[in-house]
Amino acid sequence: MSQDTLVKRQFGHRARLALSPAGVRKADDQAHAARTMWNLLHAWWRMMPKEKRTLTNADAAIRQARGDIDFLAVLPAQAARAVLKTYFQAWKNCWDGRADAPNFKGRLRTVMSVDVPQGRDLNIIRVHRRWGMANLSKVGRVRFRWTKDLPVGKRAGLENRVTGARLVKDALGWHIAFRVQALQVKPEPHQGPEIGIDVGVTVPIALSDGETYEHDEWLTEREQAKLLHLEQRAARRKRHRTPGERTSRRLHHTYDQIAGLRAKAKRRALDWQHKTTTTIARTYGTVVVEALTITNMVKSARGTIEEPGKNVAQKSGLNRSISGEAWGRTVTMLTYKTARLGGTLHKVPAPNTSQRCSGCGLTTPGSRESQAVFVCKNPDCGWSGNADWNAARNVLHLYRMGLALVPAAGRAVSRRAKRVEPAAAR
């Protein structure tokens, strides 16, 4: 097989770890040490003169800190060096305008994580149909859920291998995210039909051929009632705290229960999105979506003191519904899945796709009679149908008319990133 037909693919795979209580404590200690290491680097950076902010000097400072502070010694040396590289890369991203400047990481608002830079140190093996094992430095041999085949054992090589991993903790416990590199056959162009997609709140995904993809609530009625009860309990306990009083263990436990239910809902939403986008990418060769600016759509309608907003509560509910559907994540999944299967994804301008009639092409006031029904008020047309189907047909029509948007070559430079660090400090 020639090299022209092969393509190198890099992807991630996340699996749930089965840690013992002792293993959980060790992983927690490493995550706190990694966060502390980041904060010490940040303080060192702000303290040192610009000409001494080099990778060599920072590495020497880290070595000295790990030798002087026992708490930092629980973090493996390679993980500490990964924190250093990540911090310097964060400043490079800031100077290039891709992100804001790195800052202090608080204990409560920071995701607990530990990096494993070298994949060969994991020594991954499959021990059961549903379980695999990996070696974590200073934690030991741990089990993880085997839900996807990994290039280990005889299939591992220079081109197909696990290059590293990252331990991440959420409300459901510790997970391991593998970084996988694979050499695969370049996909042939997808011969499937073209399809337009309209995303919404009532109907999450509507296709231009009339197909729709819907889902139930992410939490059952019993789970929703429990979540409401926990939120009310947390509000009561928080209301009775005096200013400056330390948060009680009971309140922390209530917060953990709330986070667990929300994490369960997010996991179910991700599962539905992955299955739905995979089906679409396998069926259609060209996928067309709207270029939505979601951050503007979920802005608050509260307004100001001089000009207060209207229907603030209704707008807040709509914002929560839009954020819950995660339209941007759906588009991201479709982007890489269509490319992996030989298809393409295009974006078209979003204005008036829900108001324009897909039958005659005219935008007549009053045609959108309700959230679900579209009836064209043009006397010469009179087309009627589902409103989401009508919008999806308009999305596909814009692409066929040659109005697909061309991706920008680069992102706009952040104004905050410009003023944080002058070019001389690079």
Contacts with 10 (C-beta within 8 Å, 6 or more apart), sequence order: 163, 179, 180, 181, 182
Task: Give the CATH class of 188-218+265-426.
Answer: alpha beta
pLDDT digits (tens, 9 = 90+) for 230-286: 999 999 888 877 777 788 888 889 999 999 999 999 999 999 999 999 999 999 998
**Residues 11-54: tens digit of each pLDDT:** 888 999 999 999 999 999 999 999 999 999 999 998 888 888 88
Task: Measure the CA–CA gap between 96 and 111, rounded to whole angstroms.
Answer: 25
The angle, 0 to 180 degrees and rounded to 10, between the axes of the packed helices 55-68 and 77-95 is: 140
Paired residues of 133 in beta bridges: 125, 143
Q: What integer pLDDT is reported at residue 280 of this predicted model?
A: 93
Ranges in the chain annotated CATH 3.30.420: 188-218+265-426
Q: Which positions ≥6 away from 251 have C-beta within 8 Å?
A: 234, 237, 238, 241
User: Considering the entire predicted model, what is its pTM?
Assistant: 0.79
What does the mean pLDDT of the chain come to?
83
C-alpha span between 112 and 93 (Å, rounded): 22
Long-range contacts of 138-143 (CB under 8 A, 24+ apart): 138/26, 138/30, 138/74, 138/76, 139/19, 139/23, 139/26, 139/27, 139/30, 140/23, 140/26, 142/17, 142/18, 142/19, 142/23, 143/17, 143/18
pLDDT in tens, 180-227: 888 878 888 888 898 988 888 888 888 988 888 988 899 999 999 999
Q: How confident is the model at residue 305 (pLDDT cuts 50, 70, 90)?
A: low
For tokens 């693919």, the residue is 9
Task: Give the DSSP H/E element, type plus range, for residue 286.
Answer: strand 286-290
* E strand spans, 117-232: 125-126, 131-136, 140-145, 161-170, 173-185, 194-199, 205-207, 212-213
Distance of CA 342 to the CA centre of its chain: 24
Q: How far apart are CA 21 and CA 27, in angstroms?
A: 10
